[in-house]
Amino acid sequence: MREVTEADAGAAGTAGPWILSLRLPFRAPLCPDNLFGHLAAAAVPGVEEWRDGAYRRTLRLPHGPGIASLRPMPDHVACRLWLSDVEDLSIAVERCRRLLDLDADPEAVDGLLSADPLLAPLVAKNPGRRVPRTVDAAEFAVRAVLGQQVSTAAARTLAARLCAAHGEPVADPEGGLTHLFPNAAALAELDPATLAMPQTRRNTLTGLVRGLASGQIDLSPGGDWERARAQLAALPGFGPWTVEIIAMRGLGDPDAFVPGDLGVRLAARELGLPGTPAALTRHAAGWRPWRAYAVQYLWGSGEHPTNQMPTEP
């Protein structure tokens, strides 16, 4: 196994495995607390972990499995990649940047949101909040269904079992990662009766993975967000919250909004914002096109562990 820098990678053949160390730049400011806190709190055992101050996860890449380790630093994110083939370098970096929302423009976002006097104190306290996103929108959609009406811990357990049974094994040279998250084709073949969840949620998951596997549901980067929303909403068990969470974190729509979310409503009331979904939606018209970031500020106003930098297990 060869360890090189990004600049060295082009000077040799592509066959791996490779270890590469990179610096991922971003526009300052960046608030890492909710970003890494959320990813660590929802991490699926075997697929993701928080280790030695870094978020680590497996990656399904065109030329073989990979692993990314991402550590927040004052002026960059330290990225360490394990790749089966160096030709996957650019796509691995792109997925890591998307996951951490590193291409956001915090000055534009915070400038607009600060114009609302009720939201401005939250922005001033922790400027530069990002939206925790995903490396794979289809994976996130599956996880959103697994998390319907259960705790974060229960959703992690369900997902870990699914990955252990149907995910591709991965060798992790420096941690405890064991599997890739199973793709839609693999999940479309599973027996729903083996899933430890209510029948209605089994039907929801089955409909989703079959639609993803057949190509009838398109969650690919650069796709049509409104069309994807319509495709998801047509499935059984997909209400507005699930659709918008997938739009926010899976598709990357910066204006996705969840006015009915309990955490959003409670935070809104504490700030003196409208508490009902309809009234909050009307008020939030002034936050467009950055309502997904407003949600992060509202969620971040609480003391939940997802709003804090993770600590070691």
Percent of residues, the chain, with pLDDT higher than 90 = 84
Residues 253-308: pLDDT tens digits?
999 999 999 999 999 999 999 989 999 999 999 999 999 999 999 999 977 778 88
- The CA distance from 44 to 161, in Å, is 9
Four-residue CA torsion sign, 265, 148, 36, 30: negative
Residues 219-254: pLDDT tens digits?
998 889 999 999 999 999 999 999 999 999 999 999
- The CA distance from 48 to 98, in Å, is 16
Half-sphere exposure of 47 (CA within 13 A, CB side): 29
Indicate the domain borders of the chain: 2-103
Q: How many CB atoms lie within 10 A of CB 151?
A: 9
- The CA distance from 26 to 281, in Å, is 30
Relative orientation angle of helices 291-299 and 106-113, to the nearest 10 degrees = 80
The mean pLDDT value for 34-53 works out to 96
Residue 7 has pLDDT above 50, yes or no: no
- Residue 168 is predicted with a pLDDT of 97
Domain 2-103 architecture:
2-Layer Sandwich (3.30)
Instruction: Note the pTM of the prediction, 2 decimals.
Output: 0.93
**Antiparallel, parallel or unpaired: β 64-72 and 2-5:** unpaired
